[in-house]
Copies of this chain bind each other. A is one copy, B any other.
Amino acid sequence: MAQKTWRIGVAGLGTVGAGLLTFLAERPDFAPAGGRATVTGVSARSRSRPRPFDISNLPWFDDPVALANSPETDVFVELIGGSDGPAKAAVEAALRAGKPVVTANKALIAEHGADLAALAEAKGAPLLFEAAVMGGTPAVKMLREAMVGDDVKSVAGILNGTCNYILTEMEATGRSFAEVLGEAQRLGYAEADPTMDVGGFDAAHKISILAALAFGCAPNYAAAEIEGIEGVDLLDIQLARDLGYRIKLVASADRSPDGVLVRVHPSLAPLAHPLAQAGGALNALFIEGTRIGRIFIQGPGAGSGPTAAAVAADIADVMTGAVRPVFQKPATDLKPFTPVDPSKSLGRAYLRLSVKDEPGVIAAVTETLGDAGVSIESFLQKPVEKADGVPIVLTTHAVAESVLKAAIERIAALPAVLDRPRLLRIARI
């Protein structure tokens, strides 16, 4: 095992980049295969911004593409972020030059993964992105390498730490989504523009990548059905708890003979279930294979330390010289999966209604649901708390989404039903 020196170019110097530079400066010989890693160039938007790591002695590149193309760069690390723009241009430049690329960029991989994989494999350059999903918890490596002797049927879990933190805090403190989000922004746990996180788009990027690895398809972010947590009401969190559930933003990808269904939405998980138990900023994932059975992994989903460690592990993998397809199959064989029509998917549901406090209302609601073919599993009416309506909640047995939605339209039209019914899914886990 030769003591080769690998010259690393790092583009993007936020917290993860700074964590990586610190690590590589302290442990240039961290890779077990015996190579040394030395940073030979950096690039970021601002050279002068205060950083926890001194970059004044490192060669600076204004343009990440120039860093990728530099003859001093053997491995290009992309920590810029964003599905297009400089991140994509620089990654393409590095791959085109046959250089291994390590990235934490989930948007880039989810939206352009198949094209980048084709380029990487044509040039014989590894393209690794462990840090794009679940921080330092190796979900990507598990699906790409450890599950190849299995046929994965589904992956489902909590992939966005910000949403999980917000939902956990709402339940723990009884505060609203807006209040907790505001606090999370002040504490730096949520971005100034939180849309990517709370809208479910970040989780959708991640589950699209995992689906591609699990099922040997091209990532198909455009096919993901996405609902965020902005509409999760504190009342729903409390009522779900009364019914024995906790609300989580669950991202899932399920393979069936019809194709693949990729979804992100707030879902009820039974309180004793590992997904319900994963609180705060934790990420958690179930992988179900036909041979291996159900594997569960959980860990911190983000943060400078874990994410930088994942990037470092990818750099160590590059040094082993391993040749693997970027996803589960050679890029030339990758096809986008066939999306399954979600209206045909079967599942249990939680419905919250606000109804007039008058006789016969419950009979009307249950009769309407029965007529529409929806079977009720549990029912809860809480003492009146609001002047403008009584909340009632119910859970259904498994029902096709199209049947459920038609039933909801009929309930919404009942004179005694005051607001639009609130629908949440019960996680199929």
The residues of A with any CB-CB pair to B shorter than 8 Å are 1, 19, 23, 30-34, 121, 130, 135-138, 141-142, 144-150, 216, 272, 274, 277, 289-300, 303, 305-306, 308-313, 315-317, 320-325, 328-330
Contact = CB atoms under 8 A, between A and B. Distances in A.
B148 A313 contact: yes
A293 B321 contact: no
10 contacts: A1-B330, A32-B144, A32-B329, A136-B146, A136-B292, A137-B292, A138-B142, A138-B145, A149-B315, A291-B306
Contacts of A137: 292, 295
Nearest to A130: B146
A3 B121 CA distance: 15
Contacts of A295: 136-137, 297-299
Nearest to A329: B32
Q: Which one of A121, A290, A297 has the greatest number of beta carbons of chain B within 10 Å?
A: A297
Given A145-B316, A316-B145, A308 B291 contact: yes
A145 B322 CA distance: 12
Contact of A292 (B30, B121, B309, B325): B309
A74 B294 CA distance: 32
Given A292-B299, A300-B292, A306-B292, A136 B150 contact: yes
A148 B30 contact: yes
Nearest to A27: B149
Given A136-B150, A138-B146, 17 more contacts: A1-B330, A23-B149, A30-B148, A32-B330, A33-B324, A135-B292, A136-B149, A137-B292, A149-B311, A149-B313, A289-B309, A291-B306, A291-B308, A293-B300, A296-B297, A296-B298, A297-B298
Nearest to A134: B295
Contact of A141 (B146, B293, B321, B322): B146
Contacts of A32: 144, 148, 216, 324-325, 328-330
B272 A323 contact: no
B316 A149 contact: yes
Contacts of A324: 32-33, 320
Given A297-B295, A300-B292, A306-B291, A323 B149 contact: no
Contacts of A293: 136, 299-300, 303, 305-306
Contacts of A148: 30-32, 312-313, 316
A144 B31 CA distance: 10
Nearest to A131: B149
Contacts of A292: 135-137, 299-300, 305-306, 309-310
Contacts of A19: 291
A146 B303 CA distance: 16
A149 B329 contact: no
